[in-house]
Amino acid sequence: MVRWFIASCISFFSLLAQAQTYITIDHNGVSRDAVYYLPSSYSPGQHMPLLIVLHGLTQTGPGIMAITGYNTIAEQNNFIVCYPSGLNNAWNADMNVSVSTANDLGFIEILAQYFQTNFTTDPLRQYLCGFSNGGFMSHKMACESSMCFAAIATVSGNMSDSTYANCNPQFTPAVLHIHGTADPVVPYGGGASTGVSVNLTMEKWRSVLSCDATPSVFNMPNTSLIDLSSPQRYTYSNCIADLQHIKITGGGHQWPGIATLVGGAGTINMDFYSPQVIWDFLNGKSCSANGLSDPGDDFELIFYPNPTTNALKIEKSGKWCFEIMDQFGKVHISGNEQTNIRLYELHAGIYLVKVTDSQGSVVERIMKIND
């Protein structure tokens, strides 16, 4: 039994290693590096979710991959995970103390497009997760990107003062923020070098997502009695998209549940495994569900063919209108009750079709396979 278990573990982790792929993408004339994991369940044409994990300052994509264990979670939950590297081991998240001048917002958008084009990842189910500097970058992306990321999760990374002041998101992402009250690097209460406090970060998202003012507070299980810390989950109600905060009283600048000192400082809370809790939060979130009214079961819509070449047919009764937009939200074609739509002006790629009537809106994904 023990030999079988050991052999099974070796086989499983060998599978994980084999599915890791290193890529280089040219962005603004600069070669940018990333590594990604493709689960064994993937087959061409599937529309899997994409998770992009952003490392902290001084770290790398491969380094955060080794620390978090997201490859195993991706294998078990059927999603693609990518770990890009910031130039000089940093992300330009408009930090109060400058750490990078790179156009990382554009790079991450191009990276998401790479997976949409090459692996048909679902543009409605794109997620960001970041630690420290990567957390700041996740907040910046959610506030400023013209591409929809359905949800973000951050660990020990607030909003910079600039991101806080300029946060006007085109979309409405779900947000989970995890932070320790004894974080010595990014203080819970904010600071001159790190930006606003956790409370102000959460208040900004509460306002953006139109949540009720006072969250519900739940004590999470305090399973480790020697880690000198304990977690509470704050859940906001009546939001456009899900908003939660896990406050770790006594927790440091660390990934909860990961016993490593690489890139961290202070107490490691061991009451929960944060990568799994993060994926459980992200999983199932969709851009089509954020900010759109529910059209109900009577919203009958048929469109075909998909994939398509130069034409799209929509079958729907009543009065309705449509918009065909790219992944950045730019509308290329629109109209009313138009059943035969010509797509000659669109390049090959992935587009979103939004159909709206008096009941609400539905967003569907199409692929055009030729220019």
What are the structure tokens assigned to 257, written together? 């549940």
Measured CA to CA, the distance from residue 213 to residue 178 in angstroms comes to: 19
Note whether 206 and 241 are within 8 A (CB). no
pLDDT for res 77: 97
CATH superfamily of domain region 2-289: Alpha/Beta hydrolase fold, catalytic domain (3.40.50.1820)
- Tell me 191's DSSP state: B
Longest dimension (CA), the chain: 66
Question: How do residues 42-63 score in pLDDT, each as one tens digit?
Answer: 998 888 999 999 999 999 999 9
**Does the structure show a pLDDT above 50 at 292?**
no
Among 303, 338, 307, CA closest to 320: 338
Q: What is the distance between the terminal CA atoms of the chain, rounded to a whole angstrom?
A: 57
pLDDT for res 287: 82
Question: How do residues 68-83 score in pLDDT, each as one tens digit?
Answer: 999 999 999 999 999 9
pLDDT for res 288: 66
Report the percentage of the chain scoring pLDDT > 90.
Answer: 60
Higher-confidence position of 8 and 115: 115
Q: What is the CATH number that goes with domain 302-368?
A: 2.60.40.1220
Sequence length of the chain is 371
Query: What radius of gyration do the chain's Cα atoms show?
Result: 21
Rounded to two decimals, the pTM is 0.82
Residue by residue, DSSP assigns 144-175 as H-SS--SEEEEES----HHHHHH---SS--EE
What are the structure tokens assigned to 343, written together? 């797509």
In the chain, where the domains are located:
2-289, 302-368
* Residue 47, helix vs strand vs coil: coil
Question: How do residues 188-213 score in pLDDT, each as one tens digit?
Answer: 999 998 999 999 999 999 999 999 99
For the segment 228-252, the average pLDDT, to the nearest whole number, is 96
Note whether 366 and 312 are within 8 A (CB). yes
Residue 9: pLDDT band (50, 70, 90) is very low
Measured CA to CA, the distance from residue 83 to residue 231 in angstroms comes to: 27
**Does the structure show a pLDDT above 80 at 325?**
yes
pLDDT for res 360: 75
What are the structure tokens assigned to 339, written together? 């059943």
Residue 5: pLDDT band (50, 70, 90) is very low
Measured CA to CA, the distance from residue 283 to residue 68 in angstroms comes to: 17
Q: How far is CA 158 from CA 188, 222, 224, 300, 308, in A?
A: 8, 25, 26, 42, 42
Question: How do residues 359-369 score in pLDDT, each as one tens digit?
Answer: 777 777 787 77
pLDDT for res 7: 41
Measured CA to CA, the distance from residue 283 to residue 315 in angstroms comes to: 31
For the segment 273-290, the average pLDDT, to the nearest whole number, is 90
What are the structure tokens assigned to 325, written together? 């937009």
List, in sequence order, every residue forming a beta bridge with 322; answer none if it has no partner. Answer: 335, 355
**How much is the mean pLDDT over the chain?**
88
Residue 345: pLDDT band (50, 70, 90) is confident
Q: How far is CA 9 from CA 14, 15, 19, 26, 77, in A?
A: 8, 10, 16, 37, 18
**Does the structure show a pLDDT above 80 at 307?**
no
For the segment 140-147, the average pLDDT, to the nearest whole number, is 93
Residue 14: pLDDT band (50, 70, 90) is low
Residue by residue, DSSP assigns 272-312 as S-HHHHHHHHHTT--GGGSS-----TT---EEE-SSBSSEE
